[in-house]
Amino acid sequence: MSLVAYTLAVFILATAVATALFRDVLSAIVVFGSYSLGMAILYTLLLAPDVAMTEAAIGAGVTTILLLLTIARTTRPTSEKIFERVNLPAVVVVSAFVLVLVSTVLGDMYAVGDPAAPVWANTEVTQYYIQHTYEDTGVQNAVTAVLAAYRGFDTFGEAVVVFAAGVAVLIVLKREVFA
């Protein structure tokens, strides 16, 4: 992990906390958009361009636009206070939980890109896809091959879920046409 990645991680944490703390909805949405953008850059640094593109397009783009549109269509309460009141007992409990989690789990985690990590080294799953994808399917992007061929049925379910989301919005808004 380089200095850039650590800086990004701090930025992501800061924007995540700011999203929860801002009282004004518009400020929270703008900060949340920058959080998604930070995540997208971090995914790129961790060599996951497919996930980064999704995060940039859906997380930073579409979600921000939909949230902005929603507050434009509803009321936006004004307040002199900038930040939400912090519930101290809740902060203590959450901090203690995070501390326990970090101290117990983080030590056992493999470094990023460690060839000995089980997720990389196992021959049944990861190495099988890396070695056989091209001769099995004829495509060079293993992610696409897993999505569309090896896990094609799951992807069909996913596509139907996206379709159902569109229909659900129509039902919630009591509308009968898409446009």
Partner 1 sequence: MASDTSESFDDTYTESQVILTAVKIIAPFTLTYGLFLTFHGADTPGGSFQGGAIIGVTVLMLAFAFGIEPTRQWLSNTALVALVAGGVLIFLSVGLATILLGGAFLEYELFESVLGIPGGTKWGMEAIEIGGIALIVAGVVITLFFATASGFTPERRDSSEVETRPDGGLEGGEKR
| C-alpha to C-alpha distance for 179 and 168, rounded to whole angstroms | 14
Q: Does residue 132 belong to the site contacting partner 1 (CB under 8 A)?
A: no
Question: 134: number of CA atoms within 13 Å, CB side?
Answer: 4
| Residue from the set 14, 18, 41, 143 that interacts with partner 1 by CB under 8 A | 143
The nearer residue to partner 1, 101 or 169, going by C-beta atoms, is 169
Q: Does residue 58 belong to the site contacting partner 1 (CB under 8 A)?
A: yes
CB of 128 to partner 1, least distance (A): 16
3-state secondary structure of 55: helix
State which amino acid sits at residue 10. Answer: V
Q: Does residue 72 belong to the site contacting partner 1 (CB under 8 A)?
A: yes
Chain Cα centroid distance, residue 159: 18
| C-alpha to C-alpha distance for 172 and 81, rounded to whole angstroms | 33
Contact of 173 with 179, CB cutoff 8 Å:
no
Contact code string over 19-38 relative to partner 1, x by CB under 8 A: --------------------
CB of 46 to partner 1, least distance (A): 13
Q: Does residue 2 belong to the site contacting partner 1 (CB under 8 A)?
A: no
Tell me which stretch binds partner 1 (CB under 8 A): 14-22, 33-41, 72-80, 96-104.
72-80
> What is the token pair recorded at 98?
């995070």
| C-alpha to C-alpha distance for 67 and 25, rounded to whole angstroms | 9
The nearer residue to partner 1, 3 or 177, going by C-beta atoms, is 177
Whole-number Cα distances in Å, 110 to 14, 61, 82: 25, 32, 40
Q: Does residue 61 belong to the site contacting partner 1 (CB under 8 A)?
A: yes
Strand spans (E) along 27-162: none
Interacting residues with partner 1 (CB under 8 A): 49-50, 53-54, 57-58, 61-62, 65-66, 69-70, 72-76, 78, 136-141, 143-145, 147-149, 152-153, 155-156, 159-160, 162-163, 165-166, 169-170, 173-175, 177-179
